[in-house]
Structure 1
């Protein structure tokens, strides 16, 4: 396994499933606020590695690949949730909208 991909495929699959099932709107907000796609109407998480989350955003009806870097390289699974929450809060701030009350 390379240093670029410390997470096994089953962990990545679980993260994708969780983000796309429980946090689909958060994915859109992250792409809008941090991914350079302010007009995205939807987004799904499509992958991740130690350095970033990857999404496919819907922009003007078309799929657009978006890569949003983590604040630092991740080495442990538990860091993923904290980074996803940080991305969401920072994206909300960038968009000038309040985060969900339960976003931590």
Structure 2
């Protein structure tokens, strides 16, 4: 059973990702999507201790994309940032995009 973060924690993370990291969401979705088609939008809709979840729009249709955290299961809020940054770095590598420095 994956760790379930408190609703306030999830809400804050989603607000941050969908407000400040719209392009990162799209990059992650494009890199980790197993389906073909051009993804034109990606919104992070949830997360738990095992994965992040995005609603992706591809060819006019939406679907859910669940991406497991690269380092394995997490259970602490600070680990979420590290896990998302790791997804971002892997996405950049897969898509041949130069990653920006992490603060």
Superposition TM-score, scaled by structure 2 size: 0.89
User: Which residue number corresponds to residue 95 of structure 2?
Assistant: 95
Instruction: Give the whole-Å Cα distance in 2 for the aligned partners of 1:102 and 1:62.
Output: 33
User: Which residue number corresponds to residue 74 of structure 1?
Assistant: 74
In 2, are the aligned partners of 1:40 and 1:58 still within 8 Å (CA)? yes
Instruction: Give the whole-Å Cα distance in 2 for the aligned partners of 1:98 and 1:64.
Output: 27
In 2, are the aligned partners of 1:37 and 1:59 still within 8 Å (CA)? no
User: Which residue number corresponds to residue 7 of structure 1?
Assistant: 5
Give the gaps of 5 or more residues in structure 1. Answer: none
Give the gaps of 5 or more residues in structure 2. Answer: none
In 2, are the aligned partners of 1:45 and 1:56 still within 8 Å (CA)? yes
Q: Between Structure 1 and Structure 2, how many residues are aligned?
A: 101
User: Which residue number corresponds to residue 24 of structure 1?
Assistant: 22
Superposition TM-score, scaled by structure 1 size: 0.89
Shift of 1:37: 4.8
User: Which residue number corresponds to residue 65 of structure 1?
Assistant: 64
